[in-house]
Structure 1
Amino acid sequence: MGLLSLSIWTPIVFGVLLLAFGRDNCARGVRWVALIGSLLGLAVTIPLITGFDTSSAQMQFVEKVLWIERFNIHYHLGLDGLSFWFVPLTAFITVIVVLASWESITERVNQYMGAFLVLSGLMIGVFAALDGLLFYVFFEATLIPMYLIIGIWGGPNKIYAAFKFFLYTLMGSLLTLVAIIYLYNVSGGSFDIQTWHKLPLGSLPQTLVFFAFFAAFAVKVPMFPVHTWLPDVHVEAPTGGSAVLAAIMLKLGAYGFLRFSLPIAPDASREWAWLMIALSLIAVVYVGMVALVQKDMKKLVAYSSVAHMGFVTLGFFIFNDLGVSGGIVQMIAHGFVSGAMFLCIGVLYDRVHSRDIAAYGGVVNTMPKFAAFALLFAMANCGLPATAGFVGEWMVILGAVKFNFWVGLLAATALIFGAAYTLWMYKRVYLGPVGNDHVKELQDINCREFLILVILAVAVLYMGLYPKPFTDVMDPSVAQLLQHVAQSKLP
């Protein structure tokens, strides 16, 4: 068992143990076991970081074992610059979520923590899988723990939100399964994703494969107009569920475009790039305007996630190194920033049990430490220079201007809308005189909450001030991908 297998199966094993043996009468022990499991999962990824060769575009830490001989299905794992950072990011966010849920979850604690640990391992499996069917198994399996997290620990309309989440994502994925089976047959009985990259597909097959993958990945990102499930799910999900959904699960769809759509159907990707760019710009501009009128903090941040992920897909389909690298950097940065934004909303919700912006006002007077952290994360969400939120957006805007000035100009409006809705929310919630008795009675963050926010603040500032370690890893793989996409594969 290699490092990647350990990264996948360590949290899953701990999660299964919690599901099997954990009980509510020993909730304190369950929480500690969950924390140890998540920390071990993170520790296993450290040798990946130290051992990764940043000068190579080849797959590293490869593991390949025959799994189902009859269909030539392999347990095949590996990382390159496109997928590398999402493994430690997933493990990191899992630790944060376990800490953030320490006191807020009091019922079925073992099932809640177990579901998160299993989900963590499955998501890492998606980023590491190099076998098409293995990817699909991991990709679909992530729905189960998230469905349970929303449906059991969610808000008043949790069943509706859980069903909507499950049906949207499952229905989109069915076409992907058809595409995977088609590629298996065309390649002579191989599920190897890297073999699929070399298939000389015709124009029509490429277009059909492109839209089959689009059906699953666009819903997962989510792109306009299939984004409507996300605000409903975020509003009903518990704080930890929202943080993981925004920080990691949305990235599964964007990653799918990089690993499947672009390299397998490069001609179709170039042909339909105008559609992807148009949908991305609508997400950036229109959904940003929708965020401006939200009264619920979670809905506002959910719509802001759609707008920020629009930057990611825009960067991928302008086909230059700044755009693609910027899209990947934006995915990582959005993982830190959106996770932090939802956790900040969770801190307030745990105390007041309301997400309405109108229920607050003047929080800075009673929670000054917390308000300072919230301001940093709000600035990062706006894309302020020296924060993680700025780097990816700036790279995508530069790439978009290089591609087409008007596309770049439209993309840049996101910075204006982002500042407008984020600062408006911050002003209404945190600034001014104390809004009501609930706010007057608030207690500032405790040591556990302070630790969580400090860790996230350091991550946001470090990435904003020194993004080189992140971009160095992806540069060779991005260059190789763009070179591959530029070469026509039409027979």
Structure 2
Amino acid sequence: MTNSAFLLVGVLAVPLLGAVAALLLRGRAGAVAATVASVLTLLLTVPMFTTRGLVKPAGRGPQLWHEADWSWVPALDLRLHLGVDGISYPLVVLTALLTVLCCGYLLWQRPERAGLLAALLLVIEVGILGTFLAFNLVLFFLAFEVVLLPMAAVIAGWGGPARRAAALKFALYTLAGSVLLLVGVVAVVVQTGTADLVSLTAAPTLSHTAQLWIFGLFALAFAVKSPLWPLHTWLPDAHTEAPTVGSVVLAGVLLKMGTYGLIRVGLGVTPEGAAAFAPALGVLAVAAILIGSLVCLTQTELKRLIAYSSVGHMGFVLLGIATLSEIGVQAALLGNIAHGLLTGLLFFLAGAIKDRAHTGLLADLGGLRERQPWLAGVLGFAALGSLGLPGLAGFWGEAFAVVAAVQRGGTLWTVLAVLAAIGGALTAAYLLRLLRRVSHGPQAAVLAGAPEARTPELAAWSPLVLLALLLGVAPMLVLELSASTVSALTTGAP
């Protein structure tokens, strides 16, 4: 087995083996085993970068750093084709990092059946990583579906009072999207005779008509997973009822599977379909930004507000993708990472506040700054990052999505850019409203005697804070990784 194959298989096999160990050991021992496996997985992502090569296929194909390609089902000509490039690598690292933080958080929090919960988190990690590493459409679909039942189980098993209804709604919505994705995958394979994403992207062979309706299927399927307005209604319920670690993984990386699929599969395999649907995607993106922000202004529950904020933030990601430009797609990729860091941090904080106050109602919270200044300070940092403050990670993706829309030109795209900028101002309004009520409002009785942020909590939040700062001042750390692949995807081979 080559070094590349070892890394690609290892980053999937280690968490899978860790999940088995966590199930067998159960309890705290199972959580320890899961944490060790998640740390090893994160460590395997380091040599992915340091030993990367560069395979340059013809045309628009992805420029892979590592690749493994084996025969999988010879009778159907299916192959186990794995790879990583500058588009997928930052998402692989983000997934591995958030899983480490969540497993470590379980060690400290010690919920009931901690080993089982940790095992489910690792299975979800396998599915998400498999989605980012798959370069065979059938393998991509299978990995895409792996996360469905484990995430529903996390919500149903460790969530709030309405957890079963929320889990069922999540499962039904994502299952409907899965059916559309399956139809699209089968259509591509039947019409082209291959499921290989590298060759399909390098030289798209689908007819114009086929690209139109297949891209429509892909767009709907990925819109459910992201989720994009108006297919987002499962998200607030799932986040409100999910346990803290479930919300972090759900917002931090699971939502990114949809926007990643739209770039990798939608733009890669059906570029003419993407071009035809681009104006409609732009309109839907701006609708998500505005509606998500307006709904957040009326929300009275902390986790539900953060959940609806994801609708608006993912709208900026979709706007960047819809421009079909290099700067727009780069903005979308950076927006994905920034949202994963900052919204993951916000859900960690929301869980910490809810654990102390035993409520998430904004009207019952207040005075956090006086009683828990460290907790209030980190909450302020996360909120300012999410509203797009320059110097923090959230700024670049949203700002350049607007710039890409302006550069696209024409009345429609100019209007969309202006409306998106207004949506950005509304984002600042609802997040500042959140801080005014929770940090600066009258001191709430429910927080009387509640402890300050503890060392394990600060340890879980610190990497997210540092990375949000780092990407805020040096966004090229992400942009340079994907620049050549995005250039090939949007403008042809460099």
TM-score of the aligned structures, taking structure 1 as reference length: 0.95
**1:40-439 matched pairs, under 5 angstroms:** 40-52=40-52, 58-188=63-193, 190-197=194-201, 198-403=203-408, 404-436=413-445, 438-439=446-447
Residue type of the alignment partner of 2:465: A
What is the DSSP-based 3-state SS (H/G/I as helix, E as strand, rest coil) of the residue aligned with 1:385? Answer: coil
Contact 1:388/1:462 (<8 A) preserved: yes
Equivalent in the alignment of 1:23: 26
CA distance in structure 1 between the partners assigned to 2:219 and 2:273 by the alignment: 11
Contact 1:325–1:474 (CA under 8 A) maintained in structure 2: yes
Give the residue type in structure 2 aligned to 1:435: A
Can you list the C-alpha shifts for 1:222-281, whole angstroms capped at 9, x where unaligned?
111101010010001111001100010100000111111112221121111111001000
Secondary structure of 1:62 counterpart: strand
Quick one: distance in 1 between partners of 2:227 and 2:460?
27
Is the contact between residue 55 and residue 65 of structure 2 (CA under 8 Å) also seen in structure 1? no
Deviations 1:384-414 (A, max 9, x none): 0111111111111111121233221111112
Change over 3 Å in CA distance of 1:191–1:54 after alignment to 2? closer
From 3, 8, 17, the counterpart of 2:12: 8
The CA deviation at 1:103 is: 3.7
Q: Letter of the 1:320 partner, please give it.
A: S
Distance 1:85 1:180 in 2: 25
Rounded to whole Å, the distance in 1 between the matches of 2:312 and 2:143 is 26
Conserved? CA contact 2:108–2:456, under 8 Å: no
Checking the alignment, whether the CA contact within 8 Å between 1:104 and 1:350 is kept in structure 2 is no
What's the CA shift for 1:55? 10
Shift of 1:54: 8.1
CA distance in 1, matches of 2:375, 2:181: 44
Deviation at 1:287, TM superposition (A): 1.5
Cα distance change of structure 1 residues 485 and 233 upon mapping to structure 2, 3 Å threshold: farther
Tell me the alpha carbon deviations over residues 33-78 of structure 1, each in whole angstroms, 9 at most, x when there is no partner. Answer: 2221111110010111223358965112100111111111111101
**What one-letter code is carried by the residue in structure 2 that aligns with 1:191?**
A
- Structure 1 residue aligned with 2:455: 447
1-structure distance, mates of 2:283, 2:53: 36
Task: Measure the CA separation in 2 of the matches of 1:23 and 1:405.
Answer: 56
Q: Distance in 2 between matches of 1:63 and 1:55?
A: 12
Q: Is the 8 A contact 2:54 2:63 kept in 1?
A: no
Q: Secondary structure at the match of 1:295?
A: coil
Cα contact 1:54–1:473 (8 A) shared by 2: no
Q: Secondary structure at the match of 2:109?
A: coil
Could you tell me which amino acid in structure 1 is paired with residue 92 of structure 2? V
Do 2:71 and 2:77's aligned partners in 1 also have CA atoms closer than 8 Å? yes
Partner of 1:489: none
* Runs of at least 5 residues in structure 1 that lack an aligned partner in the other structure: 487-491
Specify whether residues 363 and 482 from structure 1 end up closer, same or farther in structure 2 by C-alpha distance, changes over 3 A only: same
Give the conservation status (yes or no) of the 8 Å contact 2:325–2:404. yes
Measure how far apart 1:294 and its partner are.
0.3
Which amino acid in the other structure matches residue 201 of structure 1?
L
Task: Name the amino acid aligned to 1:139.
Answer: F
CA distance, structure 2, for counterparts of residue 54 and residue 432 of structure 1: 54
TM-score by length of 2: 0.94
Which SS does the other structure have where 1:106 is aligned? coil
Q: Percent identity?
A: 34
2:252 touches 2:339 (CA, 8 Å); kept in 1? yes
SS at match of 2:245: helix
Q: What is the Cα deviation at residue 32 of structure 1?
A: 2.0
1:36 counterpart residue number:
36
Distance 1:231 1:346, change over 3 A: same
Structure 2 vs 1, CA of residues 383 and 247 (structure 1 numbering), >3 Å: closer, same or farther?
A: same
Equivalence for 1:480? 488
Within 2, Cα distance between the matches of 1:199 and 1:295? Answer: 48
1:425-464, Cα deviation, whole Å (9 max, x unpaired): 111011144122x212111011111112222111110110
Shift of 1:31: 2.6
Q: Which residue of 1 aligns with 2:59?
A: none
Which of 438-447 and 399-408 deviates more?
399-408
- Provide the C-alpha distance between the structure 2 equivalents of 1:419 and 1:297, rounded to a whole number of angstroms: 16
Residue type of the alignment partner of 2:226: V
Q: CA deviation at 1:30?
A: 2.5
3-state SS of the aligned residue for 2:255? helix
Distance, in Å, in 1 between the alignment partners of 2:371 and 2:32 is: 31
**Which ranges of structure 2 fall in alignment gaps of 5 or more residues?**
57-61
Give, in whole Å, the separation in 2 of the partners of 1:407 and 1:259: 24
Is contact 2:192–2:206 with CA below 8 Å preserved after alignment?
no
- The SS at the match of 1:102 is helix
Q: Which moved more, 1:424-433 or 1:138-147?
A: 424-433
Quote the Cα distance in structure 2 between the aligned partners of 1:372 and 1:120.
30
The alignment of Structure 1 onto Structure 2 pairs a total of residues equal to 480
Query: Cα offset for 1:421?
Result: 0.8
Q: Distance in 2 between matches of 1:365 and 1:481?
A: 51
Q: Distance in 2 between matches of 1:94 and 1:396?
A: 28
Q: 1:55 to 1:425 in 2, by over 3 A?
A: farther
Letter in 1 for 2:41: G
Are the equivalent residues in 1 in contact too, given 2:302–2:362 (CA < 8 A)? Answer: yes
In the alignment, the residues of structure 1 paired with residue 382 and residue 229 of structure 2 have an alpha-carbon distance, to the nearest angstrom, of 25
- Per-residue CA deviations over 1:335-384 (Å, capped at 9, x if unaligned) read 10000000000111112221111111101111111111111111001110
